[in-house]
Structure 1
Amino acid sequence: MMQAILPLLRGGVLALALVAAPALAEPRHGIAMYGDPALPPDFAHLPHVNPDAPKGGRIVFGDDTGFDSLNPYIIKGRAPWGIRTYTVESLMGRNYDEPFALYGVLAESVETDESRSFVEFTLREGARFSDGSPVTVEDVLWSVETLGTSGSPVYHAAWRKVASAEQSGPRSVRFTFTAPDRELPLILGLRPILRKAQWEGVDFAEASTTLPIGSGPYVVDRFERGRFIVFRKNPDWWAADLPFYRGQHNLDEIRFDFFADAGVMFEAFKAGVLTSFREVNASRWASAYDFPALRSGEVVRSEIPHQRPSGITGLVMNTRRAPFDDWRVREALIQAFNFEFINNTLNGGSEPRITSYFSNSPLGMDHGPAEGQVRALLEPHADQLLPGVLEGYSLPETNGEAANRSGIRRATQLLDEAGWTVENGQLRNAAGDVLSIEVLLQQGASEAQSIAAIFAEALRRLGITLRVTMVDSAQYTDRTNNLDFDMTWFARSMSLSPGTEQIAYWGSASADVPGTRNWMGVKDPVVDALIENLLTTTSQEEFTATAQALDRVLTAGRFVIPTWYANVGRIAHVRALRYPDRPPLYGDWLGFQPEVWWYEP
């Protein structure tokens, strides 16, 4: 995928949005997860855009993953990032200057009740696909059902909660739910809407070479597999004058050039082949940006502040396989991982560590004993909780020295308790099996490879062999889809309003499904219950406590060895590419570049 966008949050912004939700007795222009959307029905533009941004120009990105599919909605193959983002529209669009609020796009209005037992969308007159055909209720019904049954598993959980889907008026569609769900109206509002007629007689799940017809601002102009794809602004785009889109989608052309290696991609940026480069390595940001174009001012560096949770990034362990099904082995590997030494080596010590899944946000857990409403949510499940959930859990800290003697001692103790002892320099269990770990990485993942190499040296002192296997993007997609790995690199962004995506990330129902995003294989009824509570509570306090409780269970589950997050987005770009003075709440994340950027020589 496009260079990773690392998530993070500061301060209590969620409290501004988590207020009691009023009943929605009539169609409205927007909807929020909690309370009312911030913008009034007659808003002129989103608050974080430049409504007078000039139109025209182009941006050229680099991508080090490649693609072998044109359909981003199915499990088969890997499609380019931009097809879903730029060519296909949804019923509603997200304002990334609010925790979770949507405003009408294909739909002119949305209606639901106080308990959110249903949602009804009314299509906007004049909404059209790029081939000129109108967007119809039939297209909406077909798209939501097809994605929920034949599409990628990420769409399935929401569809299972739909009891009925039907046309309710000339331009209206109504979805009734099996049970009230606060987030489901928003999730369905963001479902991509495809043209039904395009897929008649086609097996959607197998149609990886079919380019979906959408109603978004761009169309695919040309592409060459393995080399590039170009998106061209549709001059007849039906939504160009919508207030929601004023100041957005200003560029005429968006191009992705593909590279087999991230280092080669950076050299292409330095040479002027690429016009924007998102830097994810703090050390390189500090030391490698000294080349002629930057010294002349033709290229500039921008740091974009943001206010979002850290999310979880690091080495994930596949608990479907021994010995990762034993939490003591997972904790031993965490103890052996010398974060401070690795951070100093690769980043000069500049990056803060991810301490939990929602760290650096009001939704993040406290590291001491669970108290108050958090404890009340967890105590009924006390006999199912791993050590640390109720008592408190924190990742180990080292003095930054390579030896990490205290961590190695603790890891040795845990491994011994789990039945692993050293014989002739190798760690073995009672059956004589050697503890050997494969870390699966995609070609071009140079930073992850460096992390794994340092980690391998630490594990060698424990008698554990860690080997790194580098594969191309197609093999990597196939193996991760089929859950064929011991450990691999893992990143999941978190928002200020966690909801249905949590089922896909770590719900039991998704754990063993090919193509699941639950790579670690979490199958925990406590996690399932907490996710359900996130989706149904109407209380701000209970929502926050539930997220903090979920954070405790996941973090103390020891599924991932966390690394670091960036507290700013780092983008180097040609000076002619500009962005608004005030970034949105989520900063450099989805909906920011190139959506609100413009070209001004």
Structure 2
Amino acid sequence: MILLSCLQLAQAADDTAAASAATVAQPQATAQHAWAMYGAPKYPADFRHFAYANPDAPKGGTLRRSAMGTFDSLNSFISKGTPAAASTLLYDTLMVHSQDETSSIYGLIAQTITVPPERTWVEFGINPKARFQDGQPITAADVKFSFETLINKGSPLYAVYYHDVTAVDIKDPLTIRFTFRDGNNRELPLILGQLPIFPAHYWQDKDFAAANLTVPVGSGAYTVEKIIPGRTIVYKRLDNYWAKDLPSRKGIDNFDHLSYDYYRDGDVALEAFKAGEFDLRQENSASRWVTRYDIPAVHDGQILKLSIPDHNPSGMQGYIYNTRRELFQNIKVREALAYAYDFEWANKNLSYGGLTRTRSYFMNSEMESTGTPSADELSLLEPLKDEIPARVFSEQYNPPQTDGSGNIRPQLRQALRILREGGWEIHGNRLLSDKTGEQMRFELLIYSDPGMERTVLPYIRNLRRLGIDVEIRRVDVTQFINRLRSFDFDMTVAVIPMSNSPGNELRDYFNSANANVPDSSNLAGISNPAVDTLVEKIINAPSKEMFVAACQALDRVLLWNFYLVPQFTIPDTHIAVWDKFGRPSTLPLYSPGIDTWWAKSAEHAASSQGNP
């Protein structure tokens, strides 16, 4: 037993009183129905449904879609196997994003969220009605299990994504708290609201990290009804789904069945769609959109062509250099090879002018860098001036341009000038290294698809005109995924997606710590202290203004380091769909809203039964 002196007791009493006074003086954290990263959520606590959802949408019918390649797993959260299309439907998350706000979440499995003013933790109150698909209640223990399972057995992305969480505590059976490293990461409550919830009782005697087609017990509105391995997967909506009448789910998930048939060729898939083998096709080829839908079913209105404005950041699609390869560690080589890509000719001759050149990692958003750096950007960039290219401060990055005629000799001459500065010289018709005398050679890895080949072949021809021995390596989708996971490529074509509130995922895309972690999204192998610093500035931005400035600063540093050759984006979302479906009159701002559609056959069935 420890005896305290009178002085110690008095001091302890003073400390307790001071702590109590401080507690009274500080704003108290209160449980809310929703949370927004900046500002306030759009929908109040008593909202009935999202504005873009029809609460009276009939349930029923089937939506048939296509997928590319094959599949051998129902687990999209691990680094093994090729997951089936839409397999994330099996699981609900703690909370759900609204599709007409950039960074707000609303109750789903969790009916409340509590974030203190200092943002050092977040607490979720689980809806006591929440159930897994086998009827077992969802508890705080399941939430903790889900978090720890993703950290320990999931893709490396999750350890990066949840890096700033230091503790997970079950406060009571329906309340869980996540404690943060500090209060600087404003996005963490949003990120944890996206946590998919797995049933601990189901997985206790099973290996979560194994890729297989065993149908698990989920927490979402759909389960798997039918599998033809590698060819077809059909999901069935559960009639007893506990959350179907929640405001965040009302008018959503209206189809009884969702079916995905697999194709190995985009052109074959298109012909199958036109033959009525499936119902909806999101077209990612501008040329096909212009030329391949000139058919009677479109002319007579049986097939609708929808162009839906896309208000999301377009991200960055490009020819990505693997800087783990010695050749592409030379920044002059990376800069020079961009001059061989003739976007203007390809857009006019291959895509009928339907593409927009990508100029930013955050294109189509306020986070895109333009002009020269602002004062806020300079406050972030100037301390890094010895680590970043000088042009970051003086020029706006723009990819090389041509006149679209196909004559790119001026661009190729510029490329050769830059290559000479990097230690390469043309001898005869070969580009040789000044040091070794060897010809520059590398391989471009793509998945086998005629549309992809049409896109890359003109670039390959121009690279060969520079004297480079470059070859295309065509592989199937499964091999493509596995080779990207192990960084087994020289150059590849990929998309680096961006959300309206980028944050922790940027560590996975760009940070040095992930440059050599298999299955990370840092495909280019970026290992750059300045990039690391700016990623942390984004994550820990104290205000919306500094968040935007940090994104713009990072954008400049990435662009001027030439980690890829920017390609293109399609400004609108193109959807071709057989006229079998009803749609709400209000579109969500940041999504095509397909999950709010319904089958007209269900509409007719409901009408015949006297239902709304």
Class of the TM-score when normalised by the shorter of the 2 chains:
over 0.9
The more displaced of 225-234 and 535-544 is 535-544
Summarize the alignment of residues 362-401 of structure 1 with structure 2, pairs less than 5 Å apart. Answer: 362-366=366-370, 368-392=371-395, 393-401=397-405
Structure 2 partner of 1:474: 478
The more displaced of 116-125 and 303-312 is 303-312
Structure 2 partner of 1:17: none
Structure 2 partner of 1:138: 141
Residue 396 of structure 1, CA deviation: 1.3
Q: Does 1:121 align with 2:120?
A: no
Q: Does 1:97 align with 2:97?
A: no
The more displaced of 158-167 and 68-77 is 158-167
Q: For each residue in 1:394-449, what CA deviation from the matched residue of structure 2 results, as whole angstroms up to 9, or x when unmatched?
A: 211111121212210110011111111123422121212221121111122x3332
Of residues 167, 170, 173 in structure 2, which corresponds to 1:167? Answer: 170
In structure 2, what is the Cα distance between the partners aligned to 1:207 and 1:59? 26
Amino acid at match of 1:130: Q
Structure 2 partner of 1:577: 581
Q: Does 1:305 align with 2:309?
A: yes
Residue 465 of structure 1, CA deviation: 2.0
The more displaced of 154-163 and 52-61 is 154-163
In structure 2, what is the Cα distance between the partners aligned to 1:452 and 1:388? 29
Of residues 112, 115, 118 in structure 1, which corresponds to 2:115? Answer: 112
Structure 2 partner of 1:597: 597
The SS at the match of 1:402 is coil
Structure 2 partner of 1:350: 354
Summarize the alignment of residues 157-236 of structure 1 with structure 2, pairs less than 5 Å apart. Answer: 157-180=160-183, 181-236=185-240
* Contact map agreement 1:92 1:190 (CA 8 A) in 2: yes
The percent identity for this pair of structures is 38
Structure 2 partner of 1:359: 363
Q: Does 1:68 align with 2:72?
A: yes
In structure 1, what is the Cα distance between the partners aligned to 2:83 and 2:251? 28
The more displaced of 538-547 and 289-298 is 289-298
The SS at the match of 1:403 is coil
Of residues 241, 245, 250 in structure 1, which corresponds to 2:249? Answer: 245
Q: Does 1:417 align with 2:421?
A: yes
The more displaced of 206-215 and 339-348 is 206-215
In structure 2, what is the Cα distance between the partners aligned to 1:547 and 1:327? 22
Of residues 507, 520, 527 in structure 2, which corresponds to 1:503? Answer: 507
Structure 2 partner of 1:259: 263
The SS at the match of 2:248 is helix
The change in CA–CA distance for 1:208 and 1:161 in structure 2 (over 3 A counts) is: farther
Q: Does 1:406 align with 2:422?
A: no
The more displaced of 411-420 and 345-354 is 345-354
In structure 2, what is the Cα distance between the partners aligned to 1:467 and 1:125? 58
In structure 1, what is the Cα distance between the partners aligned to 2:406 and 2:299? 37
Q: For each residue in 1:8-41, what CA deviation from the matched residue of structure 2 results, as whole angstroms up to 9, or x when unmatched?
A: xxxxxxxxxxxxxx97711101111112111101
Amino acid at match of 1:194: F
Structure 1 partner of 2:555: 551
In structure 2, what is the Cα distance between the partners aligned to 1:295 and 1:370? 49
In structure 2, what is the Cα distance between the partners aligned to 1:513 and 1:225? 30
Structure 1: gaps of 5 or more residues: 1-21
In structure 2, what is the Cα distance between the partners aligned to 1:600 and 1:303? 21
In structure 2, what is the Cα distance between the partners aligned to 1:293 and 1:190? 40
Of residues 313, 337, 340 in structure 1, which corresponds to 2:344? Answer: 340
Structure 1 partner of 2:90: 87
Summarize the alignment of residues 429-444 of structure 1 with structure 2, pairs less than 5 Å apart. Answer: 429=433, 430-444=435-449
* Contact map agreement 2:81 2:211 (CA 8 A) in 1: no
Residue 557 of structure 1, CA deviation: 1.8
The change in CA–CA distance for 1:49 and 1:124 in structure 2 (over 3 A counts) is: same
* Contact map agreement 1:148 1:158 (CA 8 A) in 2: no
In structure 1, what is the Cα distance between the partners aligned to 2:206 and 2:28? 39
Structure 2 partner of 1:529: 533
Residue 209 of structure 1, CA deviation: 4.0
Amino acid at match of 1:308: N
The SS at the match of 1:34 is coil
Summarize the alignment of residues 480-519 of structure 1 with structure 2, pairs less than 5 Å apart. Answer: 480-519=484-523
* Contact map agreement 1:435 1:464 (CA 8 A) in 2: yes
Q: For each residue in 1:117-139, what CA deviation from the matched residue of structure 2 results, as whole angstroms up to 9, or x when unmatched?
A: 11111110111111111111111
Q: For each residue in 1:95-145, what CA deviation from the matched residue of structure 2 results, as whole angstroms up to 9, or x when unmatched?
A: 110011100100010111123211111110111111111111111101101
In structure 1, what is the Cα distance between the partners aligned to 2:303 and 2:250? 27
Q: For each residue in 1:58-103, what CA deviation from the matched residue of structure 2 results, as whole angstroms up to 9, or x when unmatched?
A: 111111121121211110011012111x210010001110011100
Residue 350 of structure 1, CA deviation: 2.6
Of residues 77, 84, 99 in structure 1, which corresponds to 2:81? Answer: 77
In structure 1, what is the Cα distance between the partners aligned to 2:257 and 2:133? 16
The change in CA–CA distance for 1:269 and 1:584 in structure 2 (over 3 A counts) is: same
* Contact map agreement 1:24 1:111 (CA 8 A) in 2: no
Q: Does 1:32 align with 2:36?
A: yes
* Contact map agreement 2:141 2:173 (CA 8 A) in 1: no
The two structures have a TM-score, normalised by structure 1, of 0.93
Of residues 564, 576, 581 in structure 2, which corresponds to 1:560? Answer: 564
Structure 2 partner of 1:428: 432
Amino acid at match of 2:147: V
* Larger Cα-atom Rg: 2
Summarize the alignment of residues 137-156 of structure 1 with structure 2, pairs less than 5 Å apart. Answer: 137-156=140-159
Structure 2 partner of 1:18: none
The change in CA–CA distance for 1:211 and 1:435 in structure 2 (over 3 A counts) is: farther
In structure 2, what is the Cα distance between the partners aligned to 1:216 and 1:580? 23
Residue 247 of structure 1, CA deviation: 0.9
Of residues 60, 67, 72 in structure 2, which corresponds to 1:56? Answer: 60
The SS at the match of 1:81 is coil
Amino acid at match of 1:160: H
Residue 292 of structure 1, CA deviation: 3.0
Structure 2 partner of 1:46: 50
Q: For each residue in 1:270-320, what CA deviation from the matched residue of structure 2 results, as whole angstroms up to 9, or x when unmatched?
A: 100010011111222122112232233221111111212221012111111
Q: For each residue in 1:367-402, what CA deviation from the matched residue of structure 2 results, as whole angstroms up to 9, or x when unmatched?
A: x33231111210110010024211222211111121
Residue 363 of structure 1, CA deviation: 0.9
In structure 1, what is the Cα distance between the partners aligned to 2:585 and 2:312? 19
Give the total of aligned pairs: 573
The more displaced of 25-34 and 151-160 is 151-160
In structure 2, what is the Cα distance between the partners aligned to 1:188 and 1:152? 16
How large is the Cα RMSD of the aligned pairs? 1.5
